[in-house]
Structure 1
Amino acid sequence: MKRLMIAAMAMLLLPGLASAQFSISGKVSEKSDKTLPGAYIRLKNKATGTTTDASGKYQLTNLKAGNYTITASYVGYQTIEKTVNLNTNETVDFSLTPSTFLADEVIVRATRATEKTATTFKNIDKAEIEKNNFGQDLPFILNNTPGVVVTSDAGAGVGYTGIRIRGSDASRVNITVNGIPYNDSESQGTFWVNMPDFASSVDNIQIQRGVGTSTNGAGAFGGSVNIQTTSSSDQAYAELNNTYGSFNTLKNTVKIGTGLIDNKWSFDGRLSRIKSDGFIDRAASDLKSFFLSGAYHGKTDLLRINVFGGSEKTYQAWNGVPEAKLRGDLAGLQTHYENNLDYLYFTEADRDNLFNSNNRTYNQFTYKDQNDVYNQSHYQALYAKQFNEKLSFNGALHYTDGKGYFEEYKPNRKFADYGLPNVIIDATTIKRTDLVRRRWLDNDFYGATYAFNYTAQSNLTFTLGGAYNQYRGKHFGEVIWAQYASTAKNDYHYYDGKGNKDDFNTYAKVNYSPISQLSLFADLQYRNVSYDITGTDKNHATLDFHNNYNFFNPKFGATYFINEQSNVYSSFSVANKEPNRDDFTNLQAGRDIPKPERLNNVEAGYRFKNNSLSAGINVYGMFYKDQLIFTGEINEYSDAYRQNVDKSSRMGIELDASYIISPKFAVNANAALSRNKIKNYIDYVSEYDANFDLINVQATNYANPDISFSPNTVLFGELVYKPLAGFAVAWQSKYVSKQYMDNTQNESRKLDAYWVNNARLGYDFNFKGVKNINIGLLVNNILDKKYESNGYTYSSIYPWATVTENFYFPQAGTNFLLSLNLKF
């Protein structure tokens, strides 16, 4: 660890050790001589850039002699390029012309962080997304960013995948698409399987770690991911993207675009399909998606209509592999089998599957239609207007329609558990039956977002934004087959629940620069959430919860620009978050209603950027009040639920750097080191009698244990080699330290640390009639590391023993994805 810190600090000190050579400086203004503060200046094909200060001036230093192409860009203006032969200090001024149409970037500007925003963020552009997009879900494309840990139920990145940022799961990471919330309103999670190959329609992504800036939707307790979809191309295009790889993974994507028609209209479209058998047995995925977009580009306004969606059919692999099975412990596996006979009702086929299948690819489910099926469609109307040089507006209307189910075979179930009468055959009363059930979710989500941006003067800007969204969800269950047919009608629902949620927020942001070196910001958000849960749940319990929350989320910060290349910043932010649906529906009878969570977030850091090095260091403290966590306690139906803990915290340091060693070599690296603790934790273990009836709950106190699934070290490194034009080889290495699967910090209930290496190759060339041909190869886990990236654990006390069961999600060994992409 000491070596890592020394290396990281040395990387950050490199600019001070490098000898200055030449510089390029100048001013960016409009043709009317109005200066443009915040314009972006960069060296083409170099990892360096800067923004102009309050007087429109910029400077690039430490440049070697040679030829450089400089680009100057500013939202609402045409980008200009100039070429300089540098052998002495040069002054290069830019005079920008207002664009003939409004750029798509204005759609997400209100929720984006910039170098003047005192928070930590990572921008991922279209080129970076494309070179890492082999058909795996979006979390795997974000895997190389600081503090991110990803997992895959099927073991290979296709199907159900998960992402954690700073140890916080997907329900604590705010996701927006063009400023529109994407998190599910009730679970607050994000299910990328519903939008397969969405990355092929993404223009850029910004990840803000911590609370970040005010945005729409769920509270950001680990971070936020702000996505902008495809923007218009000046020229017509067509693309064919194809991938084939291990586990019969296949991706086919077709993309087309008209370019600008009459300098006003544009249309873009995409059609994709992805199939994969998965690494885990029967964990197959059959995924389809589309994306359509049409836009009108006016000189001062932009109207864009997006229609996109996906359908997925995924065989369930969410139960994981029992530890005894994973380790090849036959005696332990026999014990597991005997302990679960009463609950799982193993058939002879199930027993054969348990004992004779491959240890690492075992899947408990064998029923042929044990599938998860879901369809989701999104409709977005995005509008932006530049009223004058000071005032602009962007807003959106949106609607999301989702419907689907997961199907399960359940042996030896009581009719009474499904609200069905017993069956009488020849005077014999039959109380149990094998059956197949489906649990459905049918939901609608719609609303509006808006933001006004006002530049009062060159050093003072305001943003007023917000949203109002409504969610209407139906939860119900059906029995579609039974060994012994009951008297229920075909449309019978054995439970019917509803979730209605209204979410309103408004925020005001101000950025002020009293002097050119100092930028101050304040960001105040008010959010009101009304959430009603009614009907019955899967256990026939009556649901009658009516909750109303009022949250005030202030944020303050300052950024000081040491020079054109470096700055320091610090901020303090508050976030509040309501409980999710399961916190209510799984609540034990007689227990207090869960309280909302509160987070106080402190961030401070240093950023540096020149023509060869981009680096940053960030320290943070996240201090929670009433954080909701799993404590091991269950309700009367054996459902686990979360409970509030008084105080908990996450503190850490993050480093992120990119360095161009030479025209042929570059290195990218990041590190996240953290300490994640619960001040006082009470763990509960259920005690049963010989008939498996619950008789007691034993509580154990723990002082200052680690928060579950929060590794204290996450490291990433990438070495890129470009031996010739168009060809690049990258070696990627990722280390994740051990993670505990519960909050007891018990060494017997953990995910072991793992270090995984990938190799990526890409070759771009062209010939007549084809603009670009790209051949790509991604070899994952090239050293064939056996590791598990996720899992869960639970314990029970019986008269004869205390039983702890660990389950793991193994990830694939060495596997590959080979792509061929054609651009016309």
Structure 2
Amino acid sequence: MKKFTRLLLMSVAILFTTVVLAQTTIKGKVIDAEINAPLPGANIVEKGTTNGVSSDFDGNFILTTQTSSGQIVISYVGYGTVTITFSSSKDLGKISLASDNSLDEIVVTGTGVIDLAEDRKTPIAVSTIKANQIQEKGGNSDLPEILKSTPSVQSVQKGGFGEGQMFLRGFDQTNTAFLLNGQPINGVEDGKMYWSNWSGVLDVAKAVQVQRGLGSSKLAISSVGGTVNIVTKTIDRKEGGFVQQMIANDNYIKTTASYSTGLMSNGFAFTALLGHWQGEGYADHTDGQGQTYFLSFGYKSNEKNIFNFMVTGAPQWHAASGYNTLKTYLEKGRKYNFAYTGVDSPNTISEGYYPAGRNVYHKPVVNLSWDLTINDNSSLSTVAYASLGRGGFGSTLASKGVPTYVRGSNNNHNWYGLVTNYNNQLNENLSFNAGADVRLYNGIHFRSVNEFLSVESVNATSAYNGGAYTVTKTYGGLNPWGLLFNPNNDHAQRLHTYYDYEEKINYVGAFGQLEYTQDQFSAFFQGSASTQSHFRTEYGEAKVKGKSEDSDKINNTGFNVKAGAAYNLNDNNVVFANAGYYSRQPYHSDLFINDRSSNQLNPFVEGNQKITGFEAGYKFLGDIISANLNVYHTTWDNKVDYSSKDTDKDGLADQFTKTSPLKQVHMGAELEVFTRPFDGFTFNGFVSVGDWQYKGNITTRTTDDAGAVISEGATSYIDGVKVGEAAQFTAGISADYEILPRLKIGANWNQYDNLYGAAAFGSNEFKTENNRGSIKLPSYDTVDTGISYKMLLGENDQNSLQIRLNVNNVFDEVYIENSRDNIHVDADDVAWKGVNVNNGVWFGYGRTWNLSMRYNF
């Protein structure tokens, strides 16, 4: 018995030793190849077994295998699978997974100037939308709609193609910085964004990252609300492409095709994308059409040098959607859009209605990037770019009720710039980078005849042109391609009766960052300084024949500083805090009293705007559930507000008002929760609560179009008034489930509350200290859903056919998304859901849908 016991113990020991010796420990980090971001919840399985683990929130994993050699399979829904061979315990380092629709890993060029949050150890409040999510849920929407399921983001569609707006933490688009591969794309003159000029951006985007608040950008940009980074395709490693056909409500149709050679053995790569869309628009008489093109030429000469040349554009035209009173919409339906004339035009580009006007624009963007790896510790990235915008807004003029011609309000520009960044890992704990941002901008603004209807010429008068003269040419007309290649450069063929002027805005900035990391602690400091010059040339109001009038040259400087620190309490818990201060130069549109016909400076501009931001956050990093909690406080001071009125209803503004100084305080909290209860199922949610108010009171100055003062010194009592146009409470839930292999369904629910009308400071509502503030609009919620199926085709299933159906606002919710007035309800007033029907409003879209079929090869 004793011998048997010894033999049994020896056998168990040998078996145990054999098993232990056969085991191997494999570790690594799974990342998204497109933006170098961690992929939490990726599946890591030992091939041929059920032995596996999932990556944590930072993408890390440790797998103890059952054998000493073999293969592990790494997979994630929506990404390509990677198989890796192992023969001993080892650290695999970073393992890149690429989105299915990109076929393989992407090399992102210009990485040094694309300020993604993952490039810095110290966290910020951030949300990232990846390529597969954009492809599935984007449909025929503009970018703001894709971002509405992230905290503190509000999307307002406003009726026409490309007319949407995005609000971030209560700040509009002029106070959110938008970057395309590190290149600033907000309007230089006023910071505005026109999504109609970027209608094809989602076709080429590999990822979109929303950085709320201070963000990680090192540029001296106007990111009061935050920063949105759009990262496009560059060099695909493998050959392939796709063809996609989409149809949607209101006779929308879109065709897109793309092909990439992949990175060839000679180091070259080429990618092209072409698309065409057209549709009638959700609102009445808001038809439009356009194209998208994207060309990328890459060259990897060696391991240290990568070059990429890119050109992209989205020429388009679309009929605009005006606003109406709530009463009008209730009587005629929420899709109502008043058409000024129903005359048919002989020009096929503009055939049909001219409702509130027709936007026509073409803005090609060209950039050349160079990534240089100097050595193991340092690198240099440089992007040079150019943008040539041509187009404007056409509206019909009539004589005695008969439409005569289409008057174009042209807004052309020539924009050149360069962004460069040098990065150096000084030692194990300290990294340093520095760079420069240069922008040279020439804006060209004039009115012209863009199409003749019932006349063949138009008379005008101008001292610059020697008195009375006749306009007989239309140049590019209403064709976005024609406006690009045949612009009106002849002052004698412009309508000086209205306006004709140019401006030059030159900007030079320098920036730098230091970051220290050690064990569980990290800290950073950023700083930037810039100088900006403004110069304006007047033609329309010039007094001498052939001689323009020039303004004084204005120079102003600005800067920003940011600092922050983070501490990892353990592997699952991180806390951080950031603070920043911006001294932001006024926009060009702030500097001049009447930017259409006067070089006169605005006396209300008193130095730079001052922005102070504080934020703190907590991150919980779990395997199945993770969460982010952020709190923020932003003060925006010394702001100037500008407005205009058309008092005689002739289509031309004739009163201009400046309000100053204006102060806003925005504070709030945001919570995001991400869960992956089991394989193939994700369930996420967010809540954001804000308190956005005006602080102090303001004074106004109103002038006519000749600069004569109409009123001055009036006080608007806005202290404590709620900031309007964006909901101060938002919440959402999203779920996606792969119910069968490659068959996925999903849905999003979004709730909006504490939404207020825009504060019209000059209205009677704010003339007394007992004003009632901004009107509160009804809360609303929407539900969107989608289903997709991917069929594998071809040898080794290397091709696929994907079908996707999206239905937005499934329950056809009727809601007001914005109000430009603040008319309260008094006795005998008619109201709808507590809103006076005399307010001018925009209704949100009802139920819409889109269906796409995409063949990947």
Asked whether the equivalents of residues 721 and 730 of structure 1 are also in contact (C-alpha less than 8 Å), the reply is: yes
Q: Which residue of 2 aligns with 1:470?
A: 440
Distance 2:725 2:737 in 1: 34
Partner of 1:787: 815
Q: Is 1:575 aligned to residue 582 of structure 2?
A: yes
Bigger drift between 614-623 and 532-541 goes to: 532-541
1:173 is aligned to 2:176: yes
Q: Distance in 1 between matches of 2:552 and 2:837?
A: 34
Which has the higher mean CA deviation after the structures are superposed, 502-511 or 807-816? 807-816
1:532 CA drift (Å) = 2.2
Tell me whether 437-446 or 118-127 shows the greater mean CA deviation: 118-127
Q: Tell whether 2:388 aligns with 1:401.
A: yes
1:452 aligns with 2:457: no
Report deviation, 1:380: 0.6
* Mapped pair 1:296 → 2:299: yes
Q: Deviations over 1:560-598 (max 9, x none)?
A: 111223311001011233333433445598962424311
Equivalences for 1:805-820 in 2 at 5 Å? 806-820=839-853
Q: Secondary structure at the match of 1:93?
A: strand
Shift of 1:661: 1.9
- Paired with 2:531 and 2:747, the residues of 1 have a C-alpha distance of 47
Change in Cα spacing, 1:634 to 1:614, as seen in structure 2 (3 Å) is farther
Distance 1:172 1:697 in 2: 27
Return 5+ residue gaps in structure 2 as ranges: 1-23, 31-35, 45-53, 66-70, 97-104, 343-352, 460-467, 472-492, 760-765, 830-835
Deviations, residues 55-101 of structure 1 (Å, cap 9, x unaligned): xxx666999xxx974599xxxxxx9865899xxxx975226799xx9
Q: Deviation per CA, 1:154-206, whole angstroms, max 9, x where unpaired? A: 26xx4322111111111111111111111111121122211222212111222
Corresponding position of 1:735: 751
Name 2:728's counterpart in structure 1: 712
Q: Tell me the SS of whatever aligns to 2:577.
A: strand
1:726-780, CA deviations, whole angstroms, 9 ceiling, x for partnerless residues?
A: 1111111111224222335857845432211111111112122661111111101
Match of 1:488 in 2: 469
Return the offset for 1:517. 0.5
Contact 1:760 1:777 in 2 (8 A): yes
1:113 maps to which residue?
117
Cα drift, residue 41 of structure 1: 7.5
Q: Give 3-state SS (helix, strand or coil) of 1:458's partner.
A: coil
Max Rg structure: 2
Match of residue 124 from structure 1:
129
Q: Structure 1 vs Structure 2: percent identity of aligned residues?
A: 20
8 Å Cα contact 1:468-1:504 kept in structure 2: yes
User: 1:552 and 1:154 mapped to 2: Cα distance?
Assistant: 38
**Match of 2:418, as an amino acid?**
A
5+ residue gaps, structure 1 = 1-22, 30-37, 53-57, 73-78, 329-356, 415-431
1:620 matches 2:620: no
Asked whether the 8 Å contact 2:697–2:715 carries over to 1, the reply is no
3-state SS, counterpart of residue 578 of structure 2? strand
8 Å contact kept, 1:108–1:178: no
Identify if the C-alpha distance between structure 1 residues 550 and 585 changes in structure 2 by more than 3 Å, giving closer, same or farther: closer
Aligned length: 716
Q: 1:84 to 1:643 in 2, by over 3 A?
A: farther
Aligned to 2:314, what secondary structure does the other structure show? strand
Amino acid of the structure 1 residue aligned with 2:839: N
Aligned-partner SS, 2:626: strand
Q: Letter of the aligned partner of 1:112 in structure 2?
A: L
What SS does the corresponding residue of 2:162 show, helix, strand or coil? Answer: coil
Q: Deviations over 1:517-560 (max 9, x none)?
A: 10010001111111223316799998836432211201000011
Are the aligned partners of 1:740 and 1:746 in contact in 2 as well (CA < 8 Å)?
A: no
Tell me the secondary structure at the aligned position of residue 363 of structure 2. Answer: strand
For residues 227 and 250 of structure 2, what CA distance do their matches in structure 1 show?
32
1:695 and 1:306, CA in 2 relative to 1: closer, same or farther beyond 3 A? closer
* CA distance, structure 2, for counterparts of residue 395 and residue 687 of structure 1: 45
Once residues 174 and 62 of structure 1 are traced to their aligned partners in structure 2, the CA distance between those partners, rounded to angstroms, is 46
Q: Counterpart amino acid of 2:603?
A: D
Which letter does structure 2 place at the counterpart of 1:382?
A: S
The match for 1:145 among 126, 146, 150 is 150
1:378: how far off? 1.0
Alpha-carbon distance change, 531 to 805 in structure 1, aligned in 2, over 3 angstroms: farther
**Partner SS for 2:614:** strand
Measured after TM superposition, the shift of residue 48 of structure 1 is 4.6
Residue 554 (structure 2) aligns with: 547
2:778 aligns with 752
Tell me the CA shift for residue 435 of structure 1.
Answer: 5.6
Relative distance call for 1:70 and 1:105 in structure 2 (3 A) is: farther
Encode CA deviations 1:413-448: one digit per residue, 9 max, x unaligned: 99xxxxxxxxxxxxxxxxx99664211112100021
Deviations 1:785-817 (A, max 9, x none): 012323312789xxxx9x996322222211210
Q: Is the 8 A contact 1:606 1:617 kept in 2?
A: yes
Alignment CA distance shift 1:510-1:439 (3 Å): same
Secondary structure of the corresponding residue to residue 121 of structure 2:
coil
Matches of 2:173 and 2:540, distance apart in 1: 24
Give the residue type in structure 2 aligned to 1:363.
Answer: F
Q: 1:25 to 1:597 in 2, by over 3 A?
A: farther
Deviates more, 1:735-744 or 1:243-252: 735-744
CA distance in 1, matches of 2:702, 2:404: 28
Is residue 143–residue 202 contact of structure 2 (8 Å, CA) maintained in 1? yes
Q: Does 1:382 align with 2:369?
A: yes
Q: Distance between the aligned counterparts of 1:150 and 1:538, measured in 2?
A: 39
Q: Counterpart of 1:598?
A: 610
Q: 1:566 to 1:24 in 2, by over 3 A?
A: farther
2:194 to 182, 191, 199: 191
Q: Higher relative contact order by CA 8 Å / sep ≥ 6: 1 or 2? A: 1
Is the 1:413–1:434 Cα contact (8 Å) retained in structure 2? no
- Which structure 2 residues correspond to residues 190-269 of structure 1 after superposition, within 5 A? 190-216=193-219, 218-262=221-265, 264-269=267-272
For the residue of structure 2 that corresponds to 1:407, the secondary structure is strand
TM-score if structure 1 supplies the norm length?
Answer: 0.79
The question of whether the paired residues in 1 share the 8 Å contact of 2:156 and 2:165 is answered with: yes
1:280–1:725: structure 2 CA closer, same or farther, 3 Å change rule?
A: same
Cα distance in 2, alignment partners of residues 720 and 290 from structure 1: 31
Question: What amino acid is the match of 1:447?
Answer: G
Contact 1:144–1:716 (CA under 8 A) maintained in structure 2: yes
Alpha carbons 2:278, 2:289 under 8 Å: kept: yes
Q: Partners in 2 of 1:539 and 1:781 — Cα distance?
A: 53
